[in-house]
């Protein structure tokens, strides 16, 4: 009887140690998921910050460009409408989306605004008098810097998402990640023109086209 009890106690001890080891592994894996998930959310918030910075620059840029004689109103309207479309796409600024369709919709709206800004700055080349406008030159420089930051922060976001997505697919984490609500997160995708910062190359040596007649 005593030998049986000793044997049973030994088995229970082994099981307890095994349970503690497994529990420790699960806890460590869970904590890693929390850490990487929070890293994604932090980087998402940073992406939102630089996009907001661009949105804040646009009204002043448009208002300044309006001061140029006979500036093309259609281009300014496109900028204003694209900026408004971005505002209509509702996303959580502090939590990265786990829905690919949601992120794609947001990315498309931001891409349309990028394209509209690119067209604006191309049209600006027809109005060399703007080069004498210190406010415009400053805003243009700030906009280009912000576009560069957007590209950088989007790249960093994709890197943190990759680390997170890799973590939830590793064994044994993959066995319980879904149980705790950890889902794969989508990436920013490379859209033609969406990640290329708009550039202004003033060609003031070339003949200036006549203003648009209205």
185: in domain: no
Residue range 131-177, pLDDT digits in tens: 778 888 899 899 999 999 999 999 999 999 999 999 999 888 888 88
- The CATH number of the domain holding residue 80 is 1.20.1440.20
pTM of structure: 0.78
- Gap between the terminal Cα atoms of the chain: 106
| Structural domains in the chain (count) | 1
214: in domain: no
155: in domain: yes
Q: What is the dihedral of CA 199, 200, 201, 206, to 10 degrees?
A: 140
Residue range 15-50, pLDDT digits in tens: 665 555 556 667 778 889 999 999 999 999 999 999
Is the model more confident about 9 or about 86?
86
112: in domain: yes
31: in domain: yes
On whether the CB atoms of residues 65 and 136 are closer than 8 A, the answer is: yes
- Residue 173 is classified by DSSP as G
Task: Read off the pLDDT band of 72 (50, 70, 90).
Answer: confident
Alpha-carbon distance 33 to 164, whole Å?
A: 7
The boundaries of the domain holding residue 162 are: 2-175
115: in domain: yes
Q: What is the pLDDT of residue 74?
A: 87
């Amino acid at each position: 009887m005593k030998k049986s009890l000793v044997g049973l106690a030994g088995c229970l001890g082994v099981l307890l140690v095994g349970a503690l080891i497994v529990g420790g592994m699960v806890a460590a894996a869970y904590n890693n998921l929390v850490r990487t998930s929070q890293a994604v959310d932090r980087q998402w918030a940073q992406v939102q910050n630089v996009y907001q910075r661009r949105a804040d620059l646009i009204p002043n840029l448009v208002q300044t460009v309006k001061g140029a004689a006979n500036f093309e109103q259609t281009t300014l309207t496109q900028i204003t409408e694209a900026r408004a479309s971005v505002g209509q796409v509702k996303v959580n600024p502090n939590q990265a989306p786990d829905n690919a369709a949601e992120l794609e919709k947001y990315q498309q709206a931001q891409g349309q605004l990028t394209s509209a800004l690119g067209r604006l700055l191309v049209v600006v080349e027809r109005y060399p008098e703007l080069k004498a406008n210190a406010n415009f030159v400053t805003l243009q420089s700030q906009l280009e810097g912000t576009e560069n930051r957007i590209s950088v922060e989007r790249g960093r976001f994709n890197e943190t998402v990759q680390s997170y997505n890799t973590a939830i697919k590793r064994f044994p984490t993959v066995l319980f990640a879904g149980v705790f609500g950890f889902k794969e997160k989508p990436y920013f995708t490379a859209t033609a023109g969406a990640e290329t910062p708009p550039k202004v190359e003033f060609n003031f040596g070339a003949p200036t086209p006549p203003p648009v007649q209205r």
